[in-house]
Structure 1
Amino acid sequence: MATQIELTRAGEGKHVAVLTLNRPERLNALTRVMEGELRQAIEDLDRDDTVRVVVLTGAGRGFCAGMDIEELEVLPPGDIRAAQWMRPFDMNRRADYQTRYGYFPAMRKPIIAAINGPAAGLGLVFALYSDMRFASEQASFSTAFARRGLIAEHGIAWMLPRVVGPGHAADLLYSARKVPAAEALRIGLVDRLYDPERLLPETLAYADDLARNVSPRSIGVIKQQLWAVPFQDLAEATRVANEAMYASIQSEDFKEGVAHFIERRPARFTGN
């Protein structure tokens, strides 16, 4: 059976994994097959120590147009809570991320969404669950839910205000209007905006810089900090950071971080 996800490797040391949603004729609208393949691919890449950064993008003109309408029409209501999607993630078993798409924050490696076209509904959910969002000037965004008789699903009502602020979040969720790329950059929905031809090369260059020059151990810990801190007060965040710093100072990557700086040479981080 043909796969609906394409996996390639990029970068100087091939440490960047590129996951491409691959149904271009449907603007990469999500099916249950694609959803299962995406989750399995990310879990496999998390266990692969040769991978340090993941870039998620779409084939053709779209990033992801949401759930395929043909599947949505026959989707049983219970699918939203089906056990097959809810198996536990790592993330120190944090209850906040034991959810359908919790495997995005649970992954130890950064996920950068390279949004090349329309991102609607679940496509926007995938973008928000990614660590960073780089977009093409041809990208557009829509929550879509209210125009389908649905609601703000998969925690997006919690995530979106933290990205764009409560007023913009209410606008995007209530109206489900199409937001052009320039406005998405202005309100903070995306972090960088590129000419369409430059989106993937620039995103891969950034990802490769992370893969070659930054400690993968450090990124893994910092990512976990960033996703955990919304549920912590300052005292807990500081205590957790102090414990992580104590462990970091004893790591091989810390020794290498000091050595390559003193010796003025490229870093050779191992992630240990």
Structure 2
Amino acid sequence: MKLQGKKALITGGNSGIGLATAKLFVEEGAEVIITGRNQQTLDEAVKLLGPHAHSFRAEITDSAARKEAFQKAAEKFGKLDIVFANAGIAGNTPAGKTSEELFRQIVDINLTSVFFTVEDSLPYLNDGASIILNGSVIGTLGQPGYAAYAATKAGVRALARSLAADLSPRRIRVNVVAPGATKTPIWSRNDSRTTEQVSGLEQQFSNVIALGRMGEPEEIAKAVLFLASDDSSYVQGVELFVDGGMTGTPFGGPAARG
């Protein structure tokens, strides 16, 4: 097992990519703490994950709550070996139609809180630990209507590179996993979206992805596992795209092949 005896903390570990990653980490021998805002989904996730998983309810934008989560993790585990800063939100911010409040909210959750998640974890990390930040292909691709989200994910990439330089003397690795379109609950959280509309979005994305389909959360989790484990012991400051070719071959999808 790749993570035997390792201790990990995953923010936003109660659904989607975070939950899939927590499940894989446990299967690979780790003990895992997940955090999230919703106590019900946290409880459901821990029940699914089994006795090697624990949860703390914490709002990642709340400095005191974030610090307390790491203190509790240290009380339970001692030092941590892995932190996956996964929590984040999407948000439509079209030019000319976006409020400052929404823009700041997206930046606060997706970028500011990611930096301070790492910052708050440092006293509780073993030397040689692995930090993984959750990015996105949208930090590279120019998708209309997502300026704030794109800026935060590009910022996550830049954060990782600078933090990797800062933390290399402790042999702490900092890398980014950058998912493409992935089947997670985020697509149906918007109450105005019908099942048919979600299905249409999936088809739309699949047509422009070289491999012809959206990704599964478990596929992203496997990439996070690689970055968390000793398999990536000489990988530092990278952005690993897990997107079916969406970024590397943008004209490789079924729609472009005719």
TM-score for both structures, normalised by structure 2: 0.28
Higher Rg of the two aligned structures: 1
**TM-score of the aligned structures, taking structure 1 as reference length:** 0.27
Using CA pairs under 8 Å that are at least 6 residues apart, name the structure with larger relative contact order, 1 or 2: 2
